[in-house]
Structure 1
Amino acid sequence: MGGTVRQSDVDSFSAITAGMASLTPKQRSMLLVLSDYGEPATISVLSDMTGLHANSVRETLSVLVEYGLVRRARVPSASRGRPAWEYESSVPADLSVIMREFSTFARAVCAYLETTSATPVADAEKIGGLWGQRLAKDSSIALDGSEGSHEVREHPLARLRILFSTLGFGAVAGADDQSINLTVCPFSQDGQYPNPLTCAMHKGMISAMLAVLSSDKVDADLAANFPGAPCVISLAGEQMR
């Protein structure tokens, strides 16, 4: 089913992100349907809307509920039958909206470091490293194949691209099988180059996240090129398929 996020664990943005990054296209589509619907919906309603069998809808929703991305509640039945469940999205289907708000916070952190730190770039990377460690812990996507689903083991780079795309970076395959291009920068404002300290935080996040997920077998570097060209994550270490 993807990652290992459970509803009781979803108490942070990184945990929600991890859950969304673990979704299959079918599960993501159902989340979008619920978000667009804008109100609680029963399995019967969702089955009619999607054309899917009720059992398929139920199975998909159970995963979304487990990940904490959808909540459900009992509704009284008009007859003597069993009460039905109603489902509604508990998070935005597009987390890039939240990332845009987070970018405002990132700019505030940069302003603080610029006025208080003797080594702002190094401190920004440390902050990003803490973020990456938290994100890695919540996502539970192991690059070395020791954990996770068959899909994770077979396509680790694909899972990483999904994770970064979920965060709003428009991640696509790079020029080779050791790189990922980030075509969008949620930290940019009006298409302008983001604060270099923000890039340092992002670099620290990526490096720390990959180190944790790969048990220190894979490292990463970030070439910040936006907006003139995509930013490039280059991986180094054990061969990535």
Structure 2
Amino acid sequence: MENHRDAGDNLRVGGSGRSSSSRERILREVESRGSASTAEIVTSTGLHENTVREHLERLRIDGRLRRIRAEAQGRGRPGWRWEAPPAYAVNPYAGLALALADSLAQVAADPVAQARAAGVRWGAEVASERTDAAADAHELVLEVMREQGFAPDATADGILLHSCPLLAAAARRSDVVCAVHEGLVEGIARSRVEGTDAELQPFQAAGACVLHLRAVS
């Protein structure tokens, strides 16, 4: 039997269980559309239909996607579509994060800047509690992000984050949620090397966000 597994399907353990780059890509595709049919996902991702069906079923079992009936069009039973459940149904903390992000976006003059500043303070606090952790800023960031459930992978092009514990919230309010995470990393890194700058590029790689650490002169 032909094996249709994609080359990018190296399984990793993230905050929400076993996942793969293709699976996260499918999840983000559905979230960006609101809902999608299997055929639409196959077309947009270029993955084999069998691969897409396997990932969709796994996402359904994990509670990250659910099937809904499509609107009836003409005669016959309507087909199925896929949609992501509300953030609070997947992860109660993601629901809380989304509520806070929405509130900040409504009341703050610059919600992204304030979210990032909050993340920096959070990162500094996390780092201050890690007296026995890695002394190197890069290694400490990898260590903390791994514990937080981001499944980091250090590469020549930056740190790839293959998972996100607040993916459902980030898909809705990536500006605020990702700014907090960017600040978190910067706060951690600056605890070891003052002036380090962090840049988080959401959903830039296949099934991953890309994180860059740079020394600011």
TM-score (norm. length: structure 2): 0.50
TM-score (norm. length: structure 1): 0.45
Name the structure with the higher strand share.
2
User: Could you say which structure has the larger radius of gyration?
Assistant: 1
